[in-house]
Amino acid sequence: MKKILAVALAFAMCLSFGACGKSGDSADDPVNTQTETEGQTEQELVPTDTGVTLIDSEPEAVPAKDVEPLPEGGNLCYVIEAGNMTYNFYEYYTDEAAVYAGINAVDTASGNTLWNYVTEEQYVAQVDNYTVIGPTTAGFVFTKEDVVYCLNPVDGSLEWTSEPMNDWPAGNFVIDDDCNFYFPGYFSASLTVIGSDGSLVNYFETLTDIYGEPIDDGWCDGISMGKDGNLRIKYSFDYPTTYVVDPKTGECVDEYISTVSIEKEDLVGCWMDNLYSGDQHVIMSIEDDLSFNMSTYDSNGAIMYTYDGYFELDSFVDEVGNDWLISHLTSTDDPAFADWEGIGDYVVTYFFKDDESGRRTVELVQANNGDSVLSIYFDMTSILLHDFEPMG
């Protein structure tokens, strides 16, 4: 089914994509947002809350007029509804492994096409060819490769293009109150800031962590702007980390493990790591009251030690929710933990439940860089656990 994006006046839509496939809706047909289209690839579209007003006013609807149609054979990748306007974004592929885009602006009430715009071709890249930002106070904005484009929302004419950015944008963006666009880099932990007129406001070649060390690895999973005016930029490493960055200086003012909220019932059951390989480090059962029994295993599959205790579910990052597992140890045969109060504290960085099978996966990361069973015996700071049905 075609995805419909209602662009509210309080947030921008982060619409990044690469290839959408080669079968889709014809660019000549008006969009029926209530009709399911067979073969249309659904894409998950997540709004990014920017806290800014994107559109001061909508272009006035005009009667039907002769507009040169878009080429046939385009794949409808995104539909953006904004006020009385609907913007349809198409992607086209050529036999020479090139791609170009077409934008169709429609008066929603009448269905009349107000304007069309077609980009130049470029070769299909290993990264996203376009990031569609949509209608803003500057105009209709999108990126093509490493250049930002702004179209006049009334007639579709090109208002401006930015100079090529030093790093290809990662497909994530956020907009501030002055309609400055912030783009994390794809190939490095860089940050490019483009003004509402297409000018380069700032470029930070390499962002650093809270200790001043370069962030030199990982993929940018997202960017947002907090109420304090600082950016939150999330990168995936061995475990995902969010960096709080001053947008004016590029300085990292805080960082924390990126966590997800979990409910008590999500943890109840039997769990093990390396479910399919048979090379388990940990097997653990958790009861309704979050009491647990855990066994650790050596490389030969023999039990090393057992631990009994209970977990307390708390909040590690306040705005996330229940993302912190605090362990309390009641008994163990492990002499190294005889005087310990727990087996370590952990934050939840990933949780998934399959809708069909009900099978669950949870990732726990050692909190606060403190010692735990994982780090002491297995030189691990995180573990991916899968629930399973015990035999017998």
Question: Which candidate, 262, 250, 269, places its Cα nearest to that of 365?
Answer: 262
Structural domain includes residue 249: no
DSSP assignment of 51-116: -S---S-PPPP------PPPPTT-EEEEEEEETTEEEEEEEEE-TTSEEEEEEEEEETTT--EEEE
Domain count, the chain: 2
pLDDT of residue 60: 55
Say if residue 268 is in the same domain as residue 157. Answer: no
User: Does residue 319 lie in a domain region?
Assistant: yes
Cα-trace Rg, the chain: 25
What are 113's two structure tokens? Answer: 């096409």
Assess if residue 77 is contained within a domain: yes
On whether residue 183 sits in a domain, the answer given is no
Among 120, 145, 161, the domain boundary falls at 161
In this prediction, residue 276 carries a pLDDT of 80
Kindly give the confidence (pLDDT) of every residue in the chain, 392 residues in length, as a single tens digit, with 9 standing for 90 and above: 333 333 332 333 344 444 454 333 444 333 333 233 333 333 333 333 333 444 444 555 455 567 889 999 888 988 999 989 999 999 998 888 788 999 999 999 999 999 999 998 877 765 667 889 999 999 999 998 889 999 999 899 999 999 999 888 878 899 999 999 999 988 789 999 999 999 999 999 999 999 999 987 667 888 999 888 999 998 877 668 889 999 999 999 988 888 899 999 999 999 999 988 778 899 999 999 999 999 999 989 999 999 999 999 999 877 788 999 999 999 999 999 989 999 999 999 899 999 888 999 999 988 865 789 999 999 988 899 999 988 65
Same domain? For 150 and 292 the reply is: no
- State whether 8 and 147 are in the same domain: yes
Classify residue 22: in a domain, yes or no: yes
Strand order in the sheet with 252-257: 219-225, 231-236, 241-245, 252-257
Structure tokens at 176: 């501030």
In a domain, 187, yes or no: no
Residue-level pLDDT at 97 = 78
Residues 150 and 294 in one domain: no
CB within 8 Å of 122: residues ≥ 6 apart: 98, 99, 100, 129, 144, 145
Read off the pLDDT of residues 170-226 as tens digits, 9 standing for 90 and up.
788 999 999 999 999 887 899 999 999 999 999 999 999 999 999 876 678 889 998
Q: Could you give the C-alpha distances from 137 to 113, 329, 352, 356, in angstroms and in order?
A: 21, 57, 38, 44
130-147 exposure pattern, b = at least 16 Cβ within 10 A, e = fewer: bbbbbbbbbbbbbbbbbe
pLDDT value of position 64: 55
Are both 21 and 136 inside the same structural domain? yes
Residue 13's pLDDT is 37
- Within a domain: residue 188? no
Distance of CA 256 to the CA centre of its chain: 17
φ, ψ of residue 137 to 5 degrees: the values are -65, -20
9 and 144 housed in the same domain: yes
Q: Answer whether 72's CB lies under 8 Å from 27's CB.
A: yes
Same domain, 28 and 157: yes
128 alpha-carbon distance from chain centroid: 14
260 three-class SS: coil
Question: Which of 161, 191, 209 is the C-terminal boundary of a domain?
Answer: 161
Is 369 inside a domain boundary?
A: yes
User: Which CATH number covers residue 329?
Assistant: 2.40.128.280
Please name the amino acid found at residue 236.
S
Domain boundary among 161, 182, 203: 161
pLDDT value for 238: 66
What is the span of the domain harbouring residue 360? 264-388
